[in-house]
Amino acid sequence: MHKFGGSSVADAARIEAAARLAAPAHDQCSVVVVSAMRGVTDALVELVEAARSGAPWHDGAQRLRTRHADAARASGAACRDKLLAALDAQAQALGADLEALAQARGAVATRLAERIWGHGELCSAWLMHAALGGEAGGWAWLDAREVLVVQAGEIGVHIDREASLQRLAAWRARHPQRNVVATGFIARTADGHATTLGRNGSDHSAALLADLFDASTVTIWTDVDGVLSADPRLVPDAVRLDALTYAEACELAYFGAKVLHPRTIAPLQVRGIPLMIRSSLDPAAPGTRIDSRGEPARSPVKGLSIVDDMAVLELVGSGMVGVPGVAEVLFAALHGAGVSVTMISQGSSEHSICCVVRGSEAARGRAAIETAFAGAIAAGQVEGVRMQTGLCVLAAVGDGMRGNRGVAARLFEGLAQARVNIRAIAQGASERNLSVAIAQDDAERALRAAHATFWLSPQTVSVGLIGPGNVGRALLAQLDDVMPGLRARAGVDLRLRAIAGSRRIHLAGTALAPASAATLLGDDADPCDLDAFAAHVRASDLPHAMIIDCSASDAVAARYADWLAAGIHIVTPNKHAGSGEWSRYARIAEARVTGHSRFLYEATVGAGLPVIATLRNLIDTGDTLHSIDGMLSGTLAWLFNSFDGSRPFSALVREARALGYTEPDPRDDLSGLDVARKLVILAREAGRTLSLADVEVENLVPEALRDLSLDAFLGSLEALDAPMQARLDAAHAQGRGLRHVARLDAAGRATVGVSALPSDHACMHTRLTDNLVQFTTARYADNPLVVQGPGAGPQVTAAGVFGDVLAIAHALGARAGWRHA
């Protein structure tokens, strides 16, 4: 059996293509069920409303007549004249029904409307019948109203199977053709009146006919490649599911998977008839198979769906505790008001019971519950009915959830990471569906976060970069190099969507190419507005947001607390936040907690070296820090590693500047302030309440040179030579050497400056721009723990920043070794 939806029979070309797909093999026979052409049923509904209200409807009816006739003329059908005659007869019948409807009232009007709504399927069936060769080609034409007998029940329309089988047998006796084209959507009541199976009910009618015809398999041809793991309009990385069980498909269909009608599965499941969902636009694609077996998935969750426009009704009151029958009264009231319940949740305290209903029915439901409990409310036993609108339901579905520990924890953690609050939770005993009610505004972000949480798609992070200087540009180059492989290898989708300099910003709706992003900050870019920058990075449709601050701006660091509180993760080599005023540091720490966000700054000390991580591990594992000392400046390390008396200190400073080791103004390095900031960061990481003013800093620039212009200072560098040579000679006289060292001792005293060290000191064995940090702790008392390596240069600093970026991505749920299907 083949069923073609409206998009698959939208015009003559699509009908011809569908006919080729439906042509049976030599040893098979086929039943083809068709929907109305796309848009036709909507047009018929409008015609019914127009006729009922006395508005003009003739032009609309003529447009439908012309559309079907044009499709017939454009087809290659051999029996075109017969086809046009059949379509003309249908159009005349439609006109007569509309004329009658304009005068009818009550039950007669309802029956006429039901008959009119099925006009589109009748015309599509004639067009498909002709495209397949008609009677001459061995095809019968079936108006499903001749066979399908249905009646309305408590839970929707259901088939009278025995009566339908009898009618089918009689119809087959009159129509011996091997193959059949049948109408979808329409049926007949037991008393002989035309009816429908509800909007989008053609899939359901195909399943009912499959049962009656004893089909071996059913293929629904649509405009997508199969059942996807989520709505691709909301989750672009949604993947096609190869196979589902009937139960999984039922859950996904109910919770909004548009490719499946909720009532399609049941008739097929009873008979064990497999269902294929395939694309008529890409018939070579394998599609999705739905049967009793399904297939194991790499994730316990196979698919996620969103049901929009929901509301919560909550009945609250201490008088409900231990009282039997409360739920019965509540649901009876909702049933009486015609309100359907999607979710139910009640705590073991029985103090409240809540249900999730459609937003359009919420007010009616609340009124019905208040009426049912009016006496209890008046007596103070029940507080009343609370209503919260503007919600949606997110459902996670998969047979693999059964008996699989931690599925709910993963879902809730993923939603928390995306800053999505859960209003209500429901899970059935089958464990194949876990549903949560959340704010409608969070729907897209929540769906993407949950999809990535279960490794159905990469973890998507909206990224904004501030400061495309040396380190920023090096990081952009590394991102450009690594990101494509990172997405496939580790399931991390870093989307650079914003870049900011000191004066300009560029905000992009789609991902920027990192290699060229810095070029977008020309004079035509927008003025720098960090509030707009952060708001853009914290996109409502992306689950996670991150700002990478590669500037050295204190003003940018002043924004960290607000960004972290808003749920934006921050990675930075900027030392101002970690070493600035203590009150700001405390606000940042608090914001990390309230915003459930992460703040990583490994590159603030030691560039790409794991200095902070090592210290944090020592403290977290219960070690006690005694002291820290080491060389924390790559520039000063190079200067003192090179200063052996053979060349003046001023010449080395000029060479370091030429090599790019110093800041543009070497006084920024020689002042020791940068090293002091790093020492403060380490001290605070160890739990000390140290501030920059508490550090004793030796400034290597003579006071007389500190306020000169840069050119004047560079011309006066020789003033450094004599004092520095004298210190070197004194050190050599004692068998020592000079190094620039930062120290934090056991008493909490912090110093930064030049020290004469013995030859066996670790700092005497560094090379070039090496940083070295030595931790003396209770565990490492006799033999201190040393972290050493290159500590200067934009490449290694950018690598340290990149490492923090990946640490956050993996903490958000990206999986090492992940492979995108």
Q: Which sequence positions are flagged as catalytic?
A: 678
Q: Do residues 75 and 16 lie in contact, with contact meaning Cβ atoms separated by under 8 Å?
A: yes
Helix, coil or strand: residue 559 = coil
Ordered strands of the 2-4 beta sheet: 139-142, 179-183, 31-34, 2-4, 218-222, 275-279, 288-291, 243-245
Strands across the sheet with 156-159, in order? 156-159, 149-153, 186-189, 194-196
| Cβ contact 36:68 at 8 Å | no
| Max Cα-Cα span within the chain | 119
Q: Residue length, the chain?
A: 821
- For residues 395 and 304, is the Cβ–Cβ distance under 8 A? yes
Residue 330 CA to residue 696 CA, distance in Å, equals 72
29 HSE (CA, 13 A, CB side) = 15
Measure Cα distances from 257 to 260, 304, 693 in Å.
6, 9, 62
Contact 67, 11 (CB under 8 A): no
**CA nearest 417: which of 481, 461, 381?**
461
Q: Are strands 149-153 and 186-189 parallel, antiparallel or unpaired?
A: parallel
Would you tell me the crossing angle of helices 119-131 and 12-22 to the nearest 10 degrees?
Answer: 60
3-state secondary structure of 433: strand
Burial call 556-589: b when 16+ CB within 10 Å, e when fewer? bbbbbbbbbbbbbbbbbbbbbbbbbeeebbebbe
Structural tokens at position 372: 């049912």
- With beta carbons less than 8 A apart as the criterion, state whether 675 and 636 touch: yes
Task: Provide the token pair at 684.
Answer: 């605070």
Q: Is 57 helix (H, G, I), strand (E, B) or coil?
A: coil
> Count of CB atoms within 10 A of residue 319's CB?
16
Q: Helix or strand or coil: residue 752?
A: strand
- What single DSSP character describes residue 441? G
Other Cβ atoms within 10 Å of 527 Cβ, number: 8
The whole-angstrom separation of Cα 463 and Cα 510 is: 11
β-bridge partners, 451 = none
Dihedrals φ, ψ of 448, to 5°? -65, -40
Burial of 648 (0-12, 13-18, 19+ CB in 10 A): middle
**Cβ-contact 464, 498 below 8 angstroms:** yes
- Comparing C-alpha atoms, which of 140, 128, 112 is closest to residue 37? 128
d(CA 738, CA 727): 8
Instruction: Write the CB contacts of 92 (distance below 8 Å, at least 6 apart in sequence).
Output: none
Q: Label each residue of 354-415 as H, E or C.
A: EEEEEHHHHHHHHHHHHHHCHHHHHCCCCCEEEEEEEEEEEEEECHHHCCCCCHHHHHHHHH
- Give the closest residue to 462 by CA, choosing from 478, 477, 481, 444: 444
